[in-house]
Chains A and B, each alone.
Chain A
């Protein structure tokens, strides 16, 4: 019987075995951000050293301001950014500072720099590390203790997860994007539908997607409960990688390529679970509640908790609607928004900005709207195409790279009670700020919401 991509990467990284079938997995690549200070602190307290600094790469993203950052005046934010630089430099870890075009959200710069390659194991103290699985890498988020463990040993003890293949066939209609695929999937299987599993996204619709669009899907695997999401590497992957700074060159590239080609899940590989989704039936998706599973087609209405048979779930839904200030039966399309955010590791890459700019061109923002590219390189590429002008002319703010309003840790916050159309990945209570109300959607949909002031089916504006 054949093997899945997951099993192949697993087998190639097994160093030793422990009690109960645990495996000591070698970790090829480790990304660090400005929230990593807890792990460095734990390492220092235990008197341990960074074992292999060449395997780690660091950049500030969570705390970094997106404006006026040449001289960060906020003492706590400056401290977080400087602490990362100090920790990285002291350990001789590659560091991309503010002002360097390579700085950006860890999950944007990993693939962009070629740090993420097919078949590697990659971890980061951030749950959206699943993003990198789009390259055919086994990538997952870890907590601070595990970050310290990787820094000290370059390994992690892991139990093998179950495998879950999601087959997406059919062609997306215009105005429908990979973000809609993943929001529809989470609405279908639920926020813990993938718990304990590694997802592999397959099928003709996935094959037709660009690398950036695949990253959006793998990024949100964690919102379905799965620590990792994967796509078997193919020619789209290899073409994307060819010009990235840290990939092998010449003879080594050829050798790498032949290894990468052998990684894809075998035709006769068995998955523990399977689900299918027809991309041709999808419409643009929006969330109405406080879990990513609270998604619905934009033409739909806010569901009625009374229809939910489970009492705990019903109570949680009612609580979500109170928080969101929405009533059952309310049309999603008529909901007025106060603000729009285009950015985050889900949707801040060049294609995302192009899709949003296409909707914005020649229109005006009706609410405050923020565009935050995922990296300095994305920003520069977007400016080279004139996307910044389109956004600025429409009254959008055009900022520097970072996590920004996805989590608000740098001060880019949604005010209490405000409703934000957001391209990020989490609509949790308080995620974008205390009392903030988040509606997740694609970049084109967020742009449509910004220029109309209400949640709008973007297909009417295309």
Chain B
């Protein structure tokens, strides 16, 4: 996974609450292999009905940061939503709140998802609307975002996610280091609840 440290880039504002992952990638595209390039399906139906969709405005071309509203990425667990956004060049998103599964999927794909207070995110979207193409600077080690107007906002990030992102760590590799603890857990629980471990507990208690 590509590490994430700092990023200064054009940010694009999306002024809609409750943007669900069905809208980010409609279900009919999910049968495609990942190699099909999910960025081709990003906001597919929304873009068709709205020729002036913000991501298509020339001023925001090359944006690497998305600034959205409450509950961005709610709904279905489809990781394709993150693949589509990241595939189109976005590396970070900032909102007042995310869908929990989308948030997890973001970090799993090397994307930094930042939560800031609603008023500040609304102010940021306004600055980006008024100055299309303006840049936002993100510093992950310092946990700070600099707005186009020069103001700065600190953000919280789970230390575990931060570590994985900074180092570009594959979580499965990390977990496999805990193999002894996992095997020990299984042995103990196969004794305590043998019916859940028929494979490890002989007759399975059934």
- Tell yes or no: B90 within 8 A of A by CB: no
Q: How far is the CA of A159 from the CA of B160 in the complex (A)?
A: 9
Which residue from B162, B178, B193 sits with its C-beta under 8 Å from A15?
Answer: B178
Which residue from B18, B30, B99, B162 sits with its C-beta under 8 Å from A316?
Answer: B18
**Contacting residues of chain B (95-109) with chain A, CB-CB under 8 angstroms:** 97-101, 104-105, 108-109
A-B contact count (CB 8 A): 187
> Smallest CB-CB separation from A408: which chain B residue?
B27
CB-defined interface of A15-34 with B at 8 Å, one 1/0 digit per residue?
11011101010101000000
Q: Is the beta-carbon distance between B199 and A248 smaller than 8 angstroms?
A: no
Q: Is the beta-carbon distance between A16 and B181 smaller than 8 angstroms?
A: yes
Which residue from B22, B171, B206 sits with its C-beta under 8 Å from A252?
Answer: B206
Q: Is the beta-carbon distance between B175 and A149 smaller than 8 angstroms?
A: yes
Contact A191/B18 with A146-B104, A408-B28, A431-B27 known, Cβ cut-off 8 Å = yes
Q: How many residues of B contact A (CB 8 A)?
A: 63
Q: Is the beta-carbon distance between B75 and A428 smaller than 8 angstroms?
A: yes
Q: Is the beta-carbon distance between B15 and A153 smaller than 8 angstroms?
A: no
Q: Is the beta-carbon distance between B195 and A127 smaller than 8 angstroms?
A: no
Q: How far is the CA of A157 from the CA of B164 in the complex (A)?
A: 12
- Tell yes or no: A355 within 8 A of B by CB: no
- Tell yes or no: A319 within 8 A of B by CB: yes
Could you say which residues of chain B place their CB within 8 Å of the CB of A431? 22, 27
Could you say which residues of chain A place their CB within 8 Å of the CB of B142? none
Q: How many residues of A contact B (CB 8 A)?
A: 72
Could you say which residues of chain B place their CB within 8 Å of the CB of A80? 31
Could you say which residues of chain A place their CB within 8 Å of the CB of B124? none
Q: Is the beta-carbon distance between B28 and A409 smaller than 8 angstroms?
A: yes
Could you say which residues of chain A place their CB within 8 Å of the CB of B160? 18-20, 22, 157, 159
Which residue from B30, B74, B176 sits with its C-beta under 8 Å from A191?
Answer: B74
Distance between A111 CB and nearest chain B CB, rounded to angstroms: 16
* Interfacial residues, chain B to chain A (CB-CB below 8 A): 15-18, 20, 22-23, 26-28, 30-31, 33-34, 45-46, 69-71, 74-80, 82, 97-101, 104-105, 108-109, 122, 158-160, 162-163, 170-172, 174-176, 178, 181-182, 185-186, 189, 193-199, 205-206
